[in-house]
Amino acid sequence: MPPTGPPRSLKKIAFLEGRWEAAMAVKPDPHADWIENKGESVFRWILDGAVMEQTFEGSMMDRPFNGRGYLAFNRFSCKWQHSWSDNVAAILSFYEGDFENDKLIVIGRETAPETSFQVRITWYNITENKFDWLLETSMDGHQWLATMRAVYNRKEG
């Protein structure tokens, strides 16, 4: 039986707790321009502080964009795990990774009609009141294409 309570590693993401404004952009295809969007996220501890929950409300390409994610540290694998679902993709996504050089990087695999690809999500430039977020996709795991990005600024602590 593992120790109870939140893993100590969760202190690395404690700064997330609170309300954030997000200036987002999406690039629907490699030759398109970035399309700017806005939203708001709330991060809060759940399950006795063992998991950080994120809710997101905003827009993407002039449509409502709402999602929910969970971030945890798996004390058995010693890996960070992130799950995400939203009203656009309507799927459950799962990613796993590590903190490297003050960046949290998680990778997962997505499927779409007749294809499968990797997704890499990076939280970086992390401070108490701001962080950058980047979602990249890859067909081969070597060449990555940025498809979504965001700058989060703290609204309320």
Q: Is the pLDDT of residue 2 over 70?
A: no
Give 54-88 pLDDT, tens digit per residue: 999 998 888 899 999 999 999 899 999 999 999 98
What fold is seen in the domain 8-156? Lipocalin (2.40.128)
Q: Identify the H or E element spanning 118.
A: strand 115-124
Q: Please give the average per-residue pLDDT across 100-125, as a whole number.
A: 93
The more confidently predicted of residues 143 and 62 is 143
pLDDT score for 30:
84
Rounded Cα distance, 36 and 65, in Å: 13
The confidence band for 1, taking pLDDT boundaries of 50, 70 and 90, is low
Q: Is the pLDDT of residue 5 over 80?
A: no
Distance CA 119, CA 110 (A): 7
pLDDT on residue 73: 94
Rounded to whole angstroms, the Cα distance separating 86 from 65 reads 7
Residue with tokens 């294409």: 145
Q: What is the pLDDT of residue 135?
A: 97
Strand pairing of 93-100 and 103-112? antiparallel
The answer to whether the CB of 9 falls within 8 A of the CB of 140 is no
- pLDDT at position 8 is 83
pLDDT of residue 19: 97
Tokens found for residue 144:
């990555």
Q: In the block, which residue shows the tokens 């070597």?
A: 142
Domain ranges of the chain: 8-156
Do residues 68 and 53 make contact, with C-beta atoms less than 8 angstroms apart? Answer: yes
Report the chain's C-alpha Rg in angstroms. 16
153's tokens: 């600024």
pLDDT at 157 over 70: no
